[in-house]
Amino acid sequence: MAAAITIRELEASDRRAVAFTFGHLSDRSRYQRYFSPKPFLSARDLSRLLNVDHWHHEALIAYSPPPRAPIGIARYVRLDEFDAAELAIEVVDGWQRHGVGTALLAALQERALRAGIRHFSVSMLRDNLGARALAGHIGPIESRAAAGSLIELMLAICR
């Protein structure tokens, strides 16, 4: 199914698409993405998510086949170490396990490599098996930290 999706850069004008994507995440998916109950995105949240420069902060959005609807967003934000960035991906519940996250990740990896990023830092809940499986698509995984239900991984980006 992922072959028919469209992926493009997220733009400042995509406020409705970001809100739509968030609105189609279940409470569980929101908790897995934000690590706390998050019933809504504030105006400040939306502004932060849309403030993308496509170099230090990159974001891509995936759309379904016609009738086009936003179905996932992947982003990285460069860390203090120039060659490392924090990674986050969200896919609406109806499109999870259909290759959307994998397609977004592949496109984001290419952009990261062109920007000089060689490692992704990923924080996730220990029991988020989907995120763990997706992380395995990137490259070698190094466990960095664990606290309570959270783990932090450093992933070497491979072509």
pLDDT at residue 138 in the model? 80
Residues 6+ apart with CB under 8 A from 147: none
Higher local confidence (pLDDT), 158 or 115: 115
pLDDT at residue 3 in the model? 52
User: Nearest Cα to 87, choosing from 27, 156, 15, 24?
Assistant: 156
pLDDT at residue 51 in the model? 95
What Rg do the C-alpha atoms of the chain give, in angstroms?
15
How far apart CA 106 and CA 123 sit, in angstroms, is 19
May I ask the CATH class of domain 2-115?
alpha beta
pTM (2 d.p.): 0.91
pLDDT tens for each residue of 66-114: 989 999 999 999 999 999 999 999 999 999 999 999 999 999 999 999 9
pLDDT at residue 146 in the model? 78
How far apart CA 17 and CA 69 sit, in angstroms, is 8
On the question of pLDDT at 2 being above 60, the answer is no
pLDDT at residue 1 in the model? 47
Element (H, E) at 50: helix 43-50
pLDDT at residue 14 in the model? 97
pLDDT at residue 144 in the model? 77
Q: What is the mean pLDDT of residues 30-57?
A: 93
